[in-house]
Amino acid sequence: MRLLNAKNLNLKDADVTYYPNFFSKNEADTFFKNLKAEINWQQDEIKVFGKVYNQPRLTSFFATNEEPYSYSNITMYPHVFEKDILKVKHLIESELNINFTSCLANLYRDGKDSNGWHADDEKSLGKNPVIASVTFGEERPFHFKHKKNKLLKEKMILKHGSVLLMQGFTQENWLHQIPKTKREIGPRINLTFRIIPQKNRVPSNSVLS
């Protein structure tokens, strides 16, 4: 039921599937309310062209191991999965048949909060990373653009209770962003589940048997 109405975006050099109704409205409403209250949100500083700014959103990082996650000169140390974020993790894994080790949570407080053009291609994620992006709360536009072919672009709306699954060569070939908007809008929680193996250990198969 959760995987009904799945849409393959058919992006060149990518593998992206959108599940608009993964969570029911009641589930999504409950998870949004609980996650907003339960998660220990933080605001990090980022350095751009020598100047330091507050990151335009709040974040928190979770993992099943002790591996930190680094991006944009920010290093985040994990919290333990528990309560509602653990429930979401279990639902995602059971339906997609993928075992995730980590989750970067983002809280976009209003339209001024954003995430600029980037790819989730950090070395810690390995080659061809699998990213499951969950949306609770305000719908926001999500933009894709190809790294090499500037004519290849895609825009979509990420709905409340939806899941966007990016895998294969997606991060190698495409950038994505959540742009700012001047519209008066409410907050959005985005959970990006990923796989970061424990160092010095042989990673287990990420696909559940």
Domain extents in the chain:
7-194
128: left (phi over 0), alpha (psi -120 to 50) or beta: left
Q: Which two tokens stand for residue 53?
A: 């700014």
Q: Which two tokens stand for residue 209?
A: 């048997």
pLDDT tier at 206, thresholds 50, 70, 90: very low
CB atoms within 10 A of CB 51: 7
pLDDT in tens, 21-57: 999 999 999 999 999 999 999 999 887 777 888 999 9
Q: How far apart are CA 155 and CA 148, in angstroms?
A: 17
Q: What is the DSSP string of 143-193?
A: EEEESS-TT-EEEEEE-TTEEEEEETTHHHHEEEEE----S----EEEEEE
Q: Which residue has the higher pLDDT, 72 or 48?
A: 72
117: three-class secondary structure by DSSP: strand
pLDDT in tens, 91-109: 999 999 999 999 999 999 9
Tell me, what's the pLDDT at 203?
44
Tell me, what's the pLDDT at 200?
52
**Helix ranges (DSSP H) in 6-121:** 25-38, 83-96
Q: How far apart are CA 76 and CA 96, in angstroms?
A: 26
Tell me, what's the pLDDT at 47?
76
Closest CA to 161 of 139, 181, 180: 139
Tell me, what's the pLDDT at 72?
79
CATH class of 7-194: mainly beta
Tell me, what's the pLDDT at 171?
98
- Residues 164, 133 contacting (CB under 8 angstroms): yes
Tell me, what's the pLDDT at 71?
84
pLDDT higher than 70, residue 205: no
